[in-house]
Amino acid sequence: MTEITQAIDNTKKRIVDSARACGRNPADITLIAISKTRPASDIRHAFEHGQRFFGESYCQEAIDKIEALKDCAIEWHFIGPMQSNKTRLIAHHFDWVHSIDRLKIARRLSEQRPPQLTPLNICLQVNISGEDSKSGLTLDELLPTALSVNALPRLKLRGLMAIPAITKDTRQQLQTFAAVAAAQQQLITHGLELDTLSMGMSDDLEAAITAGATMVRVGTGIFGARG
């Protein structure tokens, strides 16, 4: 067994253990392997070990890998900031976008999503820690943006994504993730049908799962530190 396949197994065990510890069904939590900067050969290796969901953040690099791996039934997730001149490529090649923080970008994705493809799954990124260095909507911006995005054709609003401030304090991690879950619940009370909380990474996925994460995004924990 290689380092990558062992890391996938270890990460899946963490997910199962965390879910069971808080009374959740592990099958309700999807592992997104964050493969940015990794070669297509690493992704293929992980795919052959049963990993089906991969996240990319750099558009052209991702498109090259998607083309190289078109024989693999991979679900591709775009996770990262988006330039307006990249939205057409993303709309054509990805299944999910986790990082919508502007209505303008959502509109472009909606206009550019090919009609023969299923609607593009969307998460709104919320800047839950209020960091100036992070992208994302404020809590005050969330409801009006969500209602506008939900009305766009060719998109399907699925939920929220967050990248909280880094901390090793597990209680703080849990409080922050719980705030994201509460924000999503508020949107649901306004009639939005949401089922996805994309939160939790290599160092904090246990707290994210306890708070209700349905997707965790793990890069370093699977592929190792980026060189």
Q: Which one-letter amino acid corresponds to residue 80?
A: G
Query: In this predicted structure, what is the pLDDT of residue 227?
Result: 53
Per residue in 33-52, pLDDT (tens digit) is 999 999 999 999 999 999 99
Q: Which residues of 106-138 are buried (b: 16+ CB within 10 A; e: fewer)?
A: bebbbeebeeeeeebbbbbbbbbbeeeebbbbe
Whether 51 contacts 8, CB under 8 Å:
yes
Per residue in 122-150, pLDDT (tens digit) is 999 999 887 777 789 999 999 999 999 99
Domain extent, residue 14, equals 3-223
- CATH number of the domain bearing residue 163: 3.20.20.10
Query: In this predicted structure, what is the pLDDT of residue 181?
Result: 98
Please tell me the total count of domains within the chain: 1
Query: In this predicted structure, what is the pLDDT of residue 224?
Result: 86
Per residue in 77-107, pLDDT (tens digit) is 999 999 899 999 999 999 999 999 999 999 9
In this structure, the dihedral spanned by the alpha carbons of residues 159, 10, 6 and 201, taken in order and rounded to 10 degrees, is: 40
Query: What mean pLDDT is predicted for residues 219-223?
Result: 94
Structure tokens at 82: 């988006």
Query: What mean pLDDT is predicted for residues 203-207?
Result: 96
Share of the chain above pLDDT 70, in %: 98
